[in-house]
């Protein structure tokens, strides 16, 4: 009986310790698109589930789902998982997995990182890289995936207060987020940036999310600098991302 009580007590201690050292957070976002004169419409739903373990590791689960007319024109449903480490209070991916269905075609991307380099890439199905602008292998060094990029956008401190450019590679496209300035007005912090295309693009295809002329990330000018929204523009197309509370 004594051994049973000791076992139960130790189990409870382990559970309490584990719970205390694992922080989870779930958030939901809607992506809107807008053209001149036409009201904005919701086109994509995104949910994220972030777990921080012992302040040194993180797991990010995310889901995306197209909405409204977009689900009929260019339907996409996907889920992904990023696992990585937290160093100097910032996120560094170690593996990135994204499985999705687009226009009834199943696709997946897997990236594995080690010491700032991508050591493994798996794509299903394979795509013809000769049809895309080239990417040098060295250009992939010290990059992060798009999900980790969005995670950084949610926290002003993770962008080093919009002072450090961010290098991104999603398995096909390679681009930099180049910050211009940070402006404080009307109790809001607004970070302006632009997207520098490095490679992996089709010359005749325009995607406002991966080919933006202008990017703005907005935060509340407060102690926690809460995320207020994301804005991007390419030509006449405007994209906004708002959190659903």
* pLDDT tens-digit readout, 76-112: 899 999 999 999 999 999 999 999 998 889 999 999 9
- How far apart are the C-alpha atoms of 54 and 58, rounded to whole Å? 9
- How far apart are the C-alpha atoms of 193 and 160, rounded to whole Å? 14
8 A C-beta contact, residue 100 and residue 107: yes
More confident of the two residues 146 and 212:
146
CB-hemisphere CA count at 13 Å for 164? 15
| Token pair of 199 as six digits | 């490679």
Extents of the domains making up the chain: 20-244
**173-211 pLDDT per residue, tens:** 999 999 999 999 889 999 999 999 999 998 666 555 556
| Token pair of 207 as six digits | 């995607």
State yes or no: pLDDT of 216 exceeds 90: yes
pTM for the full model? 0.86
**2-33 pLDDT per residue, tens:** 333 333 334 433 344 444 488 999 999 999 99
State yes or no: pLDDT of 169 exceeds 50: yes
């Amino acid at each position: 009986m004594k051994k049973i009580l000791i076992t139960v007590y130790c189990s409870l201690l382990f559970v309490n310790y584990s719970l205390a050292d694992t922080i989870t957070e779930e958030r939901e976002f809607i992506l809107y698109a807008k053209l001149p004169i036409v009201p904005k419409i919701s086109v994509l739903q995104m949910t994220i589930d972030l777990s921080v373990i012992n302040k040194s590791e993180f797991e990010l689960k995310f889901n995306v789902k197209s909405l409204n007319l977009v689900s009929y024109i260019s339907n996409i449903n996907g889920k992904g998982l990023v696992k990585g480490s937290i160093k100097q209070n910032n996120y560094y991916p170690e593996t990135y997995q994204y499985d999705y269905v687009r226009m009834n075609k199943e696709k997946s991307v897997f990236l594995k990182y080690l010491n700032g380099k991508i050591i493994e890439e798996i794509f299903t199905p394979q795509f013809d890289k000769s049809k895309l602008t080239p990417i040098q292998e060295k250009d992939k060094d010290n990059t992060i995936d798009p999900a980790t990029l969005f995670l950084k956008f949610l926290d002003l401190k993770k962008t080093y207060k919009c002072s450090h450019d961010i290098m991104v590679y999603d398995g096909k496209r390679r681009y930099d987020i180049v910050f211009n300035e940070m402006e404080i007005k009307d109790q809001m912090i607004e970070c302006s940036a632009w997207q520098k295309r490095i490679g992996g693009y089709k010359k005749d295809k325009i995607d406002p999310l991966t080919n933006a002329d202008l990017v703005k990330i907005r935060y509340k000018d407060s102690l926690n600098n809460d995320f207020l929204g994301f804005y991007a523009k390419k030509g006449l197309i405007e994209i906004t991302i708002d959190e659903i509370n």
